[in-house]
Amino acid sequence: MGDVILARLTSDDREQFISDNQEAFNYGAMEEFGLRDNHFEEDGQIISRKTIEQSIDGGEAYRILLDSEKVGGVVVKVNGEKGELDLIFVSPHFHSKGIGYAAWREIERMHPEVKIWETVTPYFEQRNIHFYVNRCGFHIVEFFNRYHPDPNEPEMSSEEVDEQFPDGMFRFEKRID
């Protein structure tokens, strides 16, 4: 594998970043559910444009580059010693090459002040669960579902959680000593 670096997202790349993110998320759902998937937020997308735009606007967005080629993206939010991995994606054409892990290591290097990282992923994203737990050292600390909705998403009713992620979402934490 060549060099993996993170470059700040530029305004002229925003639309492609959104499109690439949606492609990567849809790939994961299609891998798991095939054409029977009904977990879409809008217009056949697992993750909506609005969700991605809110993430970009509320955090630090970076392109993941492999030898200068755009192969993914990441958005983090940092507030003192707390950090949130809001989005990370690698193009399906570049899966299983260590790119996501290299990007994650770079995020940790860029933010040595962060002592607790958090992220969430749907129950069906086995690839993500493997990545967070087995590769990056996160721990599953909570399971959001209709019986236990995410307190950070009060506007999302248990019916909406049920509709989009009927089997729930995992919350992960990584503590750095």
- For the stretch 127-136, pLDDT in tens is 889 999 999 9
The predicted structure's pLDDT at residue 41: 45
| pLDDT tens column, 127-174 | 889 999 999 999 999 987 777 777 666 554 445 544 555 678 889 999
The predicted structure's pLDDT at residue 42: 47
Mean pLDDT computed over every residue of the chain: 85
Instruction: Tell me what the mean pLDDT of segment 101-115 comes to.
Output: 97
Query: Residue 126 region, left (φ>0) first, then alpha (ψ -120 to 50), else beta?
Result: alpha
The predicted structure's pLDDT at residue 59: 97
> Given a cut of 50, is residue 30 above it in pLDDT?
yes
Say how far apart CA 67 and CA 84 lie, in whole Å: 27
Q: Which CATH number fits domain 4-175: 3.40.630.30, 1.25.40.10, 3.90.1640.20, 3.40.1380.10?
A: 3.40.630.30
The predicted structure's pLDDT at residue 74: 98
Q: Are the beta carbons of 5 and 22 closer than 8 angstroms?
A: no
Closest CA to 97 of 53, 140, 67, 58: 67
Model pTM score: 0.83
**Which residue has better confidence, 42 or 50?**
50
The predicted structure's pLDDT at residue 32: 55
The domain limits of the chain are 4-175
Per-residue pLDDT band at 4 (split at 50, 70, 90):
very high
